[in-house]
């Protein structure tokens, strides 16, 4: 079983939820190593009455710090130490709920990029029917059409391995369905995507999230970030409106309805998938939401183990080279 290093100090709920998530993942068979301040992690593990391997990382990077600078100045920060474990072959993957910028920088410095590739963040979005990978979801705000093709290839491989989809359908996020729509970027990318070794299904619009039209959605990191965060915000609006509407009903009816609303919320929940994949580096790197709970951390660790088991980085490298 592949060993996964957890940046146990990263995230809003570290180390209590990170350690709890690691305990759950270990119970499900994931070989986890905790990276962080040993006394704190030991104390958390004691509460669960269990043991997990710990690697000492005394320094912590705060959310407000400049990632690149903090990484240089704090070599013993948990994110650096976790990435070094992957670099040195002592772990095959890592998970962090800390700063996305810090995780990306640590991965680039220690684990290294695949040759000629711009690493990209692939988020899993729970669209109806089947989940969809969206990339890039924030790593590269400005890209060219060639990068979108790389994202498409990487997304296809990741969807095969992580979502278990054969010949994943890849769509280009655009402002209309017809060929020729969009900016110069989309017009050029459309032609290249048709030639690429993927199952390209054409342009997709923002409203197509309601339909099961693709397994992978490709876009630049600016648009991808807006796309994902808008869905997050829209879901919050809907939940709030629903709560307000329900509060006007009879108390008895409210009681029967609230579990149904909870079910809607659960179906929209990012925690099911635990995190986003950093694709294009020579190791499995899962970046979990900063607010990750125990459940999200456990699922992120399991997904990292799945990626490592199927050699996601190696398969990305060979597909990009072909």
CB of 82 to a second copy, least distance (A): 24
User: Which CB, 19 or 172, lies closer to a second copy?
Assistant: 172
CB of 171 to a second copy, least distance (A): 13
User: Which CB, 46 or 249, lies closer to a second copy?
Assistant: 249
Secondary structure letter of residue 123 according to DSSP: E
CB of 256 to a second copy, least distance (A): 5
User: Which CB, 53 or 262, lies closer to a second copy?
Assistant: 262
Buried b (16+ CB within 10 A) or exposed e, 140-163: beebebebbbbbbbbbbbbbbbbb
CB of 134 to a second copy, least distance (A): 11
* C-alpha to C-alpha distance for 78 and 86, rounded to whole angstroms: 13
Q: Which helix (H) or strand (E) holds 225?
A: helix 221-246
Using DSSP bridges, classify how beta strands 93-96 and 169-173 pair: parallel, antiparallel or unpaired.
unpaired
Secondary structure letter of residue 135 according to DSSP: E
CB of 212 to a second copy, least distance (A): 11
* C-alpha to C-alpha distance for 144 and 265, rounded to whole angstroms: 36
CB of 194 to a second copy, least distance (A): 20
User: Which CB, 2 or 261, lies closer to a second copy?
Assistant: 261
User: Which CB, 51 or 266, lies closer to a second copy?
Assistant: 266
Supply φ then ψ for residue 28, to 5 degrees: -90, 10
User: Which CB, 11 or 224, lies closer to a second copy?
Assistant: 224
User: Which CB, 18 or 123, lies closer to a second copy?
Assistant: 123
Of 213, 216, 119, nearest to 163 (Cα)? 216
Cα separation values, 139 from 66, 103, 114, 313, Å: 15, 11, 15, 18
CB of 138 to a second copy, least distance (A): 6
Supply φ then ψ for residue 178, to 5 degrees: -70, 150
CB of 179 to a second copy, least distance (A): 14
Residues that bind a second copy (CB under 8 A): 127-128, 138, 141-142, 173, 175, 182-184, 205-210, 221-223, 225-238, 240-242, 245-246, 248-250, 253, 256-257, 260-261, 263-264, 267-268
* C-alpha to C-alpha distance for 169 and 185, rounded to whole angstroms: 20
CB of 299 to a second copy, least distance (A): 20
In a 3-state reduction of DSSP, which class is residue 67? helix
Of 153, 166, 10, nearest to 95 (Cα)? 10
User: Which CB, 100 or 156, lies closer to a second copy?
Assistant: 100
User: Which CB, 88 or 184, lies closer to a second copy?
Assistant: 184
Supply the DSSP string of 7-40, one letter for each residue.
ETT-STTTTHHHHHHHHHHHHTT-EEEEEE-HHH
Tell me which residue has tokens 């409203």. Answer: 207
């Amino acid at each position: 079983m592949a060993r996964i290093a957890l940046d146990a100090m990263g995230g809003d709920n570290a180390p209590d939820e990170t350690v709890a998530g690691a305990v759950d993942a270990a119970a499900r068979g994931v070989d986890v190593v905790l990276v962080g301040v040993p006394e704190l992690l030991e104390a958390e593990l004691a509460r669960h009455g269990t043991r997990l391997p710990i690697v000492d990382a005394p320094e912590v990077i705060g959310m407000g710090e400049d990632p690149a600078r903090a990484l240089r100045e704090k070599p013993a920060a948990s994110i650096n130490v976790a990435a070094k474990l992957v670099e040195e072959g002592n772990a095959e993957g890592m998970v962090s709920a800390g700063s996305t910028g810090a995780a990306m920088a640590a991965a680039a410095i220690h684990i290294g990029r695949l040759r000629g590739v711009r690493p990209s963040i692939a988020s899993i979005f729970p669209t109806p029917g089947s989940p969809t990978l969206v990339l890039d979801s924030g790593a590269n705000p400005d890209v060219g059409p060639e990068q979108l093709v790389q994202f498409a290839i990487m997304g296809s491989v990741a969807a095969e391995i992580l979502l278990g989809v054969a010949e994943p359908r890849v769509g280009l996020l655009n402002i209309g369905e017809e060929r020729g729509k969009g900016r110069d970027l989309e017009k050029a990318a459309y032609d290249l995507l048709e030639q690429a070794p993927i199952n390209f299904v054409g342009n997709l619009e923002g409203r197509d999230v309601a339909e099961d039209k693709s397994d992978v959605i490709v876009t630049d990191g600016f648009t991808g970030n807006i796309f994902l965060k808008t869905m997050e915000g829209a879901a919050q609006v809907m939940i709030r409106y629903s709560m307000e509407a329900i509060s006007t009903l009879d108390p008895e009816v409210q009681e029967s309805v609230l579990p149904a609303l909870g079910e809607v919320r659960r179906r929209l929940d990012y925690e099911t998938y635990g995190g986003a994949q950093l694709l294009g580096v020579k190791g499995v790197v899962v970046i979990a939401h900063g607010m990750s709970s125990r459940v999200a951390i456990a699922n992120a660790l399991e997904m990292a183990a799945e990626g490592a088991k199927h050699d996601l980085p190696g398969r990305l490298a060979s597909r990009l080279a072909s």
